[in-house]
Copies of this chain bind each other. A is one copy, B any other.
Amino acid sequence: MNPALDEASRWERARAWIGQGVAVVDTPSLVIDLDAMDHNLARMAGFAHERGLRLRPHAKMHKSAELARLQVAHGAVGVCVQKTDEALALAHAGAHDILITNEVIAPQKLRRLAQAVRDLPTRFGLVVDSALGVARLADALTDAGVRGEHRMDVYIEIDVGHGRCGVPPGETAVVLAHSILANPVLHFAGLQAYHGAAQHRRNPAERAQAIGEAAWTAALARERLQASGFSVPLITGAGTGTFVLEASSRVWGELQAGSYLFMDADYALNEPAPQAPVFEHALFVKSQVMSRGALHAVCDAGHKSHAIDSGLPAVWFPGGLTYANGGDEHGLLRASGPGAALPELGETVWLVPGHCDPTVNLHDFMVGVRGGLAAGHVERIIAVDARGHGW
């Protein structure tokens, strides 16, 4: 592939050009405020470093090899992903250490993964919660001809309160650990303990209670395994809503938070815990008014531009506006008070998406802006390499 052509095609497809003023970036576009992102990157790297914890940010959020490299350059040990083909897309784009924080059962996915373990320099990890999962992973690695010891990190997922995947602490986990150690090509790397449901509890005391119980459950799982003679090298987990709690617990050794990099409107609704690092909104949808009524304006960003599973976007600028659902391709803007003015036809409206992960997954590119949203310029076009890679 011709890299210059590739760059030109990337810009053409992103409808934005490097060096261009932010004012002329087409709408709706997904825009990163790079100054805010750098702040968030440094805050989280500093936090993990101070606490002596490993940071393995969740790349399911940005799906971008370029941002994964940036996180590793700031001290992350690698990244997490949620899906086999996310892992493969990022590995092919150069990510060197990837943990799939999810169970994989399908033989064809495990075959693709095993071939990547065999062929790429990337270190891969996978989470299991069933004997079938361990057996199929081992079979796939054997079938692919993977040789040598400890070629693949395997973590047992403990259900620490989320109620989705994972096994309870105790005998089931011990049986799984036995089956992992029976395969020399597998390395029993520890436990995954992630409480997704706790991330968005608004009250810090409720989050503290959930993570307190999760810590107790994870520690119990570790004790039971140690009592059966297993070494448990690491417990990995945590998200942007709770990582300060996991970090303080002395149970977790690795933090998986991802949304901190962009901070969405939903996370911003959490009442902050004392001493929590403060992150800035770094991900925006640039939109514009394309129809104007007497009492409302219509902007050109609906839920094909931003995900609404965790609520509608907040209007960042201009002030005094509320966003109501206008369907797939429209947003209805109304003045939130008698002093607020409706924007005019063609006027730019900046939105903060409700949930960054599925919002990024709607776009092929993120437009990185330096110097602020009002008068900055496009510094980089960042590809969403694993967009749509749900397999």
Contact = CB atoms under 8 A, between A and B. Distances in A.
Nearest to A85: B15
A102 interface: yes
Contacts of A108: 24, 26
Given A288-B106, A298-B164, A132 B346 contact: yes
Interface string A7-37: 0000000010000000010111100000000
Contacts of A363: 388
Contacts of A139: none
Contact of A26 (B26, B109, B308, B357): B109
A224 to B, nearest CB: 19
A15 B165 contact: no
Nearest to A107: B346
A60 interface: yes
B332 A391 contact: no
Interface stretch (A178-186, A267-275, A289-297, A313-321): A289-297
Interface in A329-364: 329-330, 332, 345-346, 357-358, 361-364
Contacts of A327: 164, 196
A303 B309 contact: yes
Contacts of A283: none
Contacts of A54: none
B290 A328 contact: no
Interface in A140-172: 159, 163-166
A105 to B, nearest CB: 5
A102 B60 CA distance: 33
A240 interface: no
A165 B290 CA distance: 9
B105 A390 contact: no
A82 interface: yes
Interface in A258-286: none
Contact of A329 (B26, B83, B296): B83
B83 A15 contact: no
Nearest to A129: B291
A192 interface: no
A75 to B, nearest CB: 26
14 contacts: A82-B329, A102-B290, A103-B290, A105-B346, A129-B291, A133-B345, A165-B330, A196-B327, A300-B390, A303-B358, A304-B358, A304-B361, A308-B309, A362-B388
Given A27-B391, A132-B346, A165-B291, 13 more contacts: A15-B85, A24-B108, A26-B109, A60-B328, A82-B328, A130-B291, A133-B345, A159-B293, A304-B390, A328-B358, A362-B362, A362-B390, A364-B388
